[in-house]
Amino acid sequence: MNNENQNIEYKESWRDEYVKWLCGFANAQGGQLYIGIDDRGEVCGVENAHKLSEDIPNKVVSFLGIVAEVNVLDKDGKDYIEIDVAPSDVPISYKGKYYFRSGSTLQELNGAALQNFVLRKMGRSWDEVINDRATLNDLDREAVDYFIRKGIEAERVPEDLRKASTEEVLTSLGLVDDNGGLTNAAVLLFGKNPQRYYPSAVFKIGRFGIDEADLRFQDVIEGNILQMAERVMDVLKAKYLISPVRFEGMQRYEKLELPKEALREILYNAIAHKDYTGPDIQMHVYDSSIEIWNEGELPEGYTQETLFARHSSKPRNHKIANVFFKAGFIDTWGRGFQKIRDGFEADGIPMPKVENFCGGVRVTIERTVFVKLSVSGQTGGQTGSQTGGQTGSQAGGQTRERVYELIKTNPYITRDELSKVLGISPSAIQKHIDKLKEVRIRRIGGDFGGHWEIIEK
């Protein structure tokens, strides 16, 4: 026999309480409960199989209100029972409680999980629910205008929407009901302070050293989620990511270590598909990798292979996804991960790893450019000062210029990080810093959590 899994459960004998397993199957993908089989999948048989085959269907109808197919099977002269339950289009309860089959476990749904489950069964999403406390005064017209401008640029909203009132814009997007009530999506997308109603609608970024216990500095991005990805990108470019510098002749070029459009796509996915009844979006930035996590797992049956292949779009938040689409941020054809693939392949960077983790989705990105510079101890042609494509010297004024360029690129870089990148001792780095502090830079704040400021006297 097959092992127990999402759709199969074994029991050695029948108990009426096992109806809740059938409830879990009905609320999930359907499945089969076998009576007379032990946990190893071996048939041990069950007495009165034919009587049970008559009693069980009645119990299922009585407790669950659904019809189950019950069959008596035989193996080596031993009778056992197969109870086959189809997935239900409506929520099914057992004695007032809702159960759900997840993997090979049975879960009782409560609170936000139950609310989201019931909404999904009704073909709705949490962001469609009306917020009874919010009013139009909670919304920011500048955010509405930002959406209109982006939508017109993307040719996904009409030009005449510029003249529309806030309420008219919301109505066209299906974000307000007939009584003027605002949906959760409306407040999250356009709110002046959506965190007043949804405390977890924030994006946390942390710069870590060796491990998660070694937090060096952090930022918390708040405000409406429509503009959140851009604000996150600004902070990442200013403080967390490097933009290696290269020279072609006298022309200077800077390029972010990760493909910008692909990174934006990852951010939009995390924001649009987040379960806003759960914790904050979290980004961990390490020397070797970046991890982005949002509450809410991938759609049932979806894996990384599914996402990077042709697949249908299954948004968690229908209204939010629709607004992001009309603003030109995302597609509705499941092509977002193809854009990510194209961006990372073009830059020669390994594909991000996407996986379910701790009740949410985690995307892990390798920092190959940062690691390469750290290991080689060289920045010539990438982050250092050079002319004619030649690598800069590791001594004297050119080394000091390279220290300056690194600080200018990343004001939060530490002396130890400079030492690793340039391959010289921390004490030598300090001498260059002392010289630069006389005319070109100054320190704001302490060694921990402070940053550099360019002054160029």
Q: For 173-226, give the DSSP string.
A: TT-B-TT-PEEHHHHHHHBSSGGGT-TT--EEEEEESSSTT-EEEEEEE-S-ST
Whether the Cβ atoms of residue 158 and residue 239 lie closer than 8 Å to each other: no
Structure tokens at 413: 């870089």
Residue with tokens 């659904």: 66
Burial of 30 per CB tally in 10 Å (0-12, 13-18, 19+): middle
Q: Which of 82, 56, 107, 72 is nearest to 1 (CA)?
A: 82
**CA 208 to CA 355: how far, in whole Å?**
21
Instruction: Find the angle CA(228)-CA(230)-CA(231) to the nearest 5 degrees.
Output: 65
Q: Strand, coil or helix: what is 63?
A: helix
Q: Strand, coil or helix: what is 85?
A: strand
Report if pTM > 0.95: no
**CA 203 to CA 188: how far, in whole Å?**
13
Whether the Cβ atoms of residue 422 and residue 373 lie closer than 8 Å to each other: no
**CA 267 to CA 234: how far, in whole Å?**
12
Whether the Cβ atoms of residue 259 and residue 344 lie closer than 8 Å to each other: yes
**CA 366 to CA 351: how far, in whole Å?**
8
Residues in the chain, overall count: 457
Residue 403: its pLDDT value, please? Answer: 87
For residue range 242-281, list pLDDT tens digits in order.
887 766 666 666 789 999 999 999 999 999 999 999 899 9
| Sheet containing 203-208: order of strands | 215-221, 203-208, 281-285, 289-295, 360-366, 353-357
**CA 390 to CA 329: how far, in whole Å?**
40
Question: What does the radius of gyration of the chain's CA atoms come to, in whole angstroms?
Answer: 29
Residue 250: its pLDDT value, please? Answer: 62
* First vs last C-alpha separation in the chain: 79
Query: Under 8 Å CB-to-CB from 140, ≥6 apart: which residues?
Result: 190, 191, 192, 224
Residue 252: its pLDDT value, please? Answer: 67
Q: Which residues of the chain have pLDDT under 50?
A: 378-395
Q: Strand, coil or helix: what is 61?
A: helix
Residue 71: its pLDDT value, please? Answer: 94
Structure tokens at 279: 């914790």
Q: For 148-182, give the DSSP string.
A: HHHHHHTT-S-GGGGGS-HHHHHHHTT-B-TT-PE
Structure tokens at 141: 């017209």
Q: How many Cα neighbours within 13 Å face the side chain of 448?
A: 5
| Cα-based distances in Å from 181 to 125, 136, 170, 219 | 16, 9, 11, 33
Q: Which of 80, 73, 72, 89 is nearest to 30 (CA)?
A: 89
Structure tokens at 77: 């002269």
Residue with tokens 């987040």: 274
Residue with tokens 């250092």: 384
Supply φ then ψ for residue 453, to 5 degrees: -130, 135
